[in-house]
Amino acid sequence: MQGPSIRVPPPGPKAAALIARDRAVVSPSYTRGYPLVVERASGAFVEDVDGNVFLDCTAGIAVNSTGHSHPDVVRAIRDQAELFLHMSGTDFYYEPQVRLAEKLAAIAPFRGAARSFFGNSGTEAIEACIKLARYATKRQHFIAFLGAFHGRTMGSLSLTASKAVQRDGFAPFMPGVFHAPYADCYRCPLGLDPDQCAAECLDEIERGVFLQIVSPDQVAAVVVEPIQGEGGYVVPPDQFLQRLRAITAAHGILFVADEVQSGMGRTGRMFAIEHSGVEPDVVAIAKGIASGLPLGVATARSELMTWPPGAHASTFGGNPVSCAAALATIALLEERLVANAADVGAHLLAGLRSLADKHPLVGDVRGRGLMIGVELVRDRASKTFAVEERNAAVLAAFSRGLLVLGAGKSSVRFSPPLVLTREQADTAVAIFDAALGDVEARRVSR
């Protein structure tokens, strides 16, 4: 499959018909950013039902790490499916789950032995982390961060603080969760200049939360994204994570790294936390681990995961087909795709940063590997969020054959499959350049 190629302005007639059917029977809670109706996909390209081909810089929300339908992953799925589809690792044993647990113990971003709990998604991985932290520490409180996204089930939603709409109408939440400022140095929560902002916002935990709200010896865990995803692809300084680790270690608090979006090679390391040199106690993994099949994992130091049989389980978690896909995925990541994410990611980051010279809308470009955010602003001095302009830029890119998504209030995220080439990255930059031009031209015409 080659592209991009727009044969019919989307949505074409077939796409429009299917969208109408969807609206009648599917929950309206889904956030569909634009009318893409997928027919098939391969590598970094997606074809819709009307024959349009798009360059995919979403990877199914950072899920298709090895590209769409990688032949090695498809082969692993087919081979396992011919043996058996399901037996429930909660009640029985099978080798794919054991092999995957062994592999995760080998690649976990901390030294020492590890055990893994298998679920079906990122939010289930976080729920397992919450329960494990309470069980292991015999404490009940948690600290998370403003801008965080950890999922939409009730425990993970209590940690989430990304967008009000995600929480509206669902209170009361799990008690005992406190939110602190995240080190977004472009928009420093303390009002400092970017070159001064590193870990100072953690003073809010030590001088605020611990002294005025809850004693640190009652906090089970701090849950943090090494790079915030839904919050805007915000990359904190390494000092932020390093000081946070020091705080948790000083008080016997578990450090839980939410690597659901940033893990599995996306940042040019297997896990984003590795860039800082910090070793967490527990890591939540999902999205890119199985190249599109549902799988979520909580991997913890062995001495923490000592809960008894029946304490936590999942009928479908660790499904043998998903485990087979994950093993094939990790093999591809280790073979070349983590390195490719680092190389092509640096190339894409440089290309996107060059757009700031042409487009006043571009306020900040940040990222690691193939996890890159472009924050749009109406004015660079005031950094006023350009929400409407961001939404228009995403749609303009779609109409030209590029799939991207929003993140945060006014950022555009680039999270393509890790098979992306430099040439495809250049195409993405060129289309986004044109999309920004379209949006800015419309602003001038007003």
Q: How far apart are CA 40 and CA 3, in angstroms?
A: 13
114-135, pLDDT tens digit by residue?
999 999 999 999 999 999 999 9
Nearest to 312 by CA among 445, 165, 125, 179: 125
Q: Contact, 112 vs 371, CB < 8 A? A: no
Range 122-139 burial, b when 16+ CB lie within 10 A, else e? bbbbbbbbbbbbbbbbeb
Q: Contact, 414 vs 373, CB < 8 A? A: yes
Q: Which residues of the chain have pLDDT under 50?
A: none
Q: Which helix (H) or strand (E) holds 20?
A: helix 13-25
Would you state the structure tokens that stand for residue 275, as one six-digit string? Answer: 């860039």
Provide the pLDDT for residue 200.
84
Provide the pLDDT for residue 446.
64
CATH hierarchy code of domain 13-70+336-445? 3.90.1150.10
* Pairing state between β 282-285 and 254-258: parallel
Provide the pLDDT for residue 197.
78
290-336, pLDDT tens digit by residue?
999 999 999 999 999 999 999 999 999 999 999 999 999 999 999 99
**Cα→Cα distances 406→176, 375, 403, Å:** 30, 9, 10
Provide the pLDDT for residue 1.
80
Mean pLDDT score of the chain, rounded to an integer?
96
Provide the pLDDT for residue 276.
97
**Cα→Cα distances 123→26, 126, 135, 193, Å:** 21, 5, 18, 34
179-215, pLDDT tens digit by residue?
999 999 999 888 877 777 777 889 889 989 999 999 9
Provide the pLDDT for residue 191.
81
Provide the pLDDT for residue 3.
87
Provide the pLDDT for residue 292.
97
373-383, pLDDT tens digit by residue?
999 999 999 99
- Sheet with strand 177-180: strands edge to edge: 114-119, 296-301, 282-285, 254-258, 219-224, 141-145, 177-180
Other C-beta atoms within 10 Å of 39: how many? 14
The one-letter code for the residue type at 446 is R
Range 71-333 has CATH code 3.40.640.10: yes
**pTM to 2 decimals?**
0.96
Provide the pLDDT for residue 445.
63
CATH 3.40.640.10 residue spans of the chain: 71-333
Provide the pLDDT for residue 190.
81
CATH 3.90.1150.10 residue spans of the chain: 13-70+336-445
